[in-house]
Structure 1
């Protein structure tokens, strides 16, 4: 009930809907509670990317928010949450925040840690220095060549974890020419040396198993149509000569300056 209430509150007060869940292009038509543990979202058209924003939406309790006259300007003094930690203190002078274990956390026996001190760092370099000095035990940030600059310093204790949780992608506006031409898009794909990009940006630590569908490696077996495997592999290669041929086949040629024009 609270979940359905929250999403319908966003619909009623569009200024709260910062992710555009109810925007004209989303296709969302209704959100209704079903029984005690289900919420039904009805769409006028498929919209898989919208799930990200739906899943990220904080839920508010109906019994509190239903009587608030203007939710858009309401400052909630006692927010209700389901996270593993509770706020304890914040030091504005150095940006340190302290959180403690939530005794009512919904996963029994978790979290394992009683207290966390979360440091606010100005740069990736300063955060990395805190780790190297032993002043911090964990960080989430960009570190150049982590195998050499971090792991090699103390292999027994210095570890990295690189979960594949997303992808870097080149998006085209397929509503306009020439991006609406599939041959053009395929040519651009094989004209980009993706392995070289991965080596230069992530020093080989990120792994190399890109897929033009955008499906991350650990989910390809379950979600990728096996009849598309060969096509996906061909579009993953680096072949600028073939790309030039494909572009020529749809009328693109190089001028005297060597620029590709259509």
Structure 2
């Protein structure tokens, strides 16, 4: 399940998957992936904080609070225009201390539905390079923003093209209707295979006292669908229908 899930985020023929540079574990849906990363951040960057957009999915605040990671916010939504407050967002990125952690919604921002354009993402990525920031993407709605999972992963692909190390939370609660099965994945792109092996080991250690092992049934459903070309094609068609 994990390998097929990584292809959705990083690309079907991703060099990072081929080079085994990604530390990834199955999580309890997207919520569990976020919480596992928050604990990972707290353990290995204990003096760091997380910048969270205003507004955001309310549970983001609970997750990083309970992991004891200090929070700050950054501008995102502009109520008057009902669009992205891009200038203020960029100012917050520029003014944050170098090497800060930022939480982004990869697509279909919850609760506003407002996403940066491709050009916006490229400018954000460039500024992250300048500042040395780390981006963590919560991708709970892949396929539900545009109807195309590839297009909905564009923000992530831009950061990958620009050479960032990133983290990603993925979930099948919405796009496969598996709310009750709690199927998700946490991945962190590393410097090389050796670092990825070490990072995965640490993620597994963190998961052990939290939920030990994730449920199997939902993961098998995902694996069967994504590994079978005909079933995957059908799923992609149905995802597109959902938003039309």
Q: Which structure has greater helix proportion?
A: 2
TM-score in same-fold range (> 0.5): no
Question: TM-score by structure 1 length?
Answer: 0.25
Question: TM-score by structure 2 length?
Answer: 0.26
Task: Tell which has more relative contact order, 1 or 2 (C-alpha 8 A, sep 6+).
Answer: 2
Structure number with greater Rg is 1
